[in-house]
Amino acid sequence: MEPVPEDWERALAIVPHPDDLEYGASTAIAKWTSAGKTVVEVLGTRGEAGIDGMDPEEVARVRTAEQVEAARLVGVDTVEFLDHPDGMIEYGLPLRRDIARAIRRHRPEVVVSLNFRETWPGGEGFNTADHRVFGLAVADAVRDAANRWVFRDPAEEPWSGVRFALFAGSPAAGHYVDVAGHLPAGIASLRAHRVYFDHLGEEFDPEAFLTGVAEQGGREAGVAQAVTFELIAL
């Protein structure tokens, strides 16, 4: 494990669903914002397909508000939504275009997203279609954003300033962020998804979950608590 470089000022965190960042990455975001870095969050969907038994429009309203609050708790003031359909995200030019435009708009040095591999660490489970499709589109859209002849728009300037992309929860993680002292903020941000967790039909303890994640990451990195990432240099 190598530490994630932190000699940068602006990051764009872009994931498919409300709560995707809060299972680990938001704890790293809390560290970065506390150090004065600017992080913007962009969500591919509003998570409207995430609660069985609730009308999707109401779910979208609730989960949008929960994500804005979760972001605020880790020092993020700007949250945007691309409004792709939850559970039905398709890899293709429309998705790459929307992500590339977000990158051009916010001009980050670092892009943060979620695991796009087929499985989670340890080979557990099978990653969802939205995660696999969206993460791959993020990696491709970074290059799209830098090429002025891709998704041409006279109002948009290309942006080639992204140094690397970070993917949280990846089985190919080789980098880490030491998050000692920032776990409480990460836990608070995960707890902000209260309505979502209330409808899962099972007990979920955000503190126990994130503490376990951070301590496991710490063991891998050789520190007390860490969030691990797959880093792709771009």
Please tell me the predicted confidence (pLDDT) of residue 56.
97
pLDDT tens digits, one per residue of 9-20? 999 999 999 999
Q: How many Cα neighbours within 13 Å face the side chain of 59?
A: 20
* Nearest residue to 19 via CA among 209, 208, 196, 203: 196
Per the listing, tokens 């691309």 go with 82
Q: What is the pLDDT of residue 44?
A: 98
What is the rounded CA–CA span in Å between residue 42 and residue 60?
15
Q: pLDDT digits over 101-149, tens only?
A: 999 999 999 999 999 999 999 888 999 999 999 999 999 999 999 999 9
Q: Provide the 3-class DSSP secondary structure of residue 144.
A: helix
For the entire predicted model, the pTM comes to 0.96
State mean pLDDT over 165-177. Answer: 98
List domains and CATH numbers for the chain.
Answer: 2-233 (3.40.50.10320)
Can you tell me the distance from the alpha carbon of 189 to that of 19, in angstroms, rounded to the nearest whole number?
9
